[in-house]
Amino acid sequence: MAKDTTTSVNRKSDIISAAIEVFAEIGYYRATTAQVAERAKISQPYIFRFFPTKEVLLLTALEVSWARIIESFHQVVQSASPDRLETDLIIAYEQILGEYRNEVLLQMQAQTIQEHSIREAMQGGFREVRQIVLDAFRQADIADPEERTMLFLARGMLCNISVAINLPELMET
């Protein structure tokens, strides 16, 4: 890969990381691309080289956050034994909560944004995660896989709330 291409990829990644932090901290509507640029230590116009609008930047940040969960769950599904599947999925999600808190906070905020493209991104992410878990539970012959999937997702949402409001006892089992 040429140096310019590598630099561009790294800068784009820096911008996405900065956007995730800024959007998670102050919210999508209050955040500006100037604040994202400052966090990424670049000029504001440079953001628009990669992302034509703030909404496109948010959609890319959401894509990154969903991809992390989806990849993590796929890895668990491929390696976990049926009797450890749900436990290993919970552990994987708790690791994401611990290591990528801002991505989770970003998703939580995005759930309240009414723009069609953002709602579609959130629906798509939830649908894919739900399908991965449901298929895995069915494959593992877990009783009532639809109900268990719903409870698993509900527990995940409770964990998100716990992280967002700093109330760890909500996550205690």
State the pLDDT at residue 3.
59
- Pairwise CA distance, residues 11 & 15, whole Å: 6
Mean pLDDT to the nearest integer, 71-95: 96
Tell me which amino acid residue 4 is: D
Q: What confidence tens digit (pLDDT) does each residue in 119-170 have?
A: 999 999 999 999 999 999 999 999 999 999 999 999 999 999 998 998 888 7
Identify the structural domains of the chain with CATH numbers, from first to last: 3-167 (1.10.357.10)
pLDDT digits (tens, 9 = 90+) for 6-31: 667 789 999 999 999 999 999 999 99
Residue 63's identity, in one-letter code, is E
- Helix, coil or strand: residue 31: coil
| pLDDT tens-digit map of 56-79 | 999 999 999 999 999 999 999 999
Q: At what angle do helices 54-79 and 85-99 cross, to 10 degrees?
A: 150
For residue 96, what pLDDT band results from cuts at 50, 70 and 90?
very high
Dihedral of alpha carbons 36, 19, 120, 170, sign = negative
Span 36-45, average pLDDT: 96
> Average pLDDT in the 86-111 region?
95
Buried residues in 22-40 as b, exposed as e (16+ CB within 10 A): bbbeeebeebebebbbebb
Q: What is the sign, positive or negative, of the torsion defined by CA atoms of 55, 117, 112, 145? A: negative
Supply the pTM of this predicted model.
0.91
Q: How far is CA 29 from CA 50, 114, 132, 162, 166, in A?
A: 20, 12, 32, 23, 23
Using an 8 Å Cβ cutoff, are 110 and 28 in contact? yes
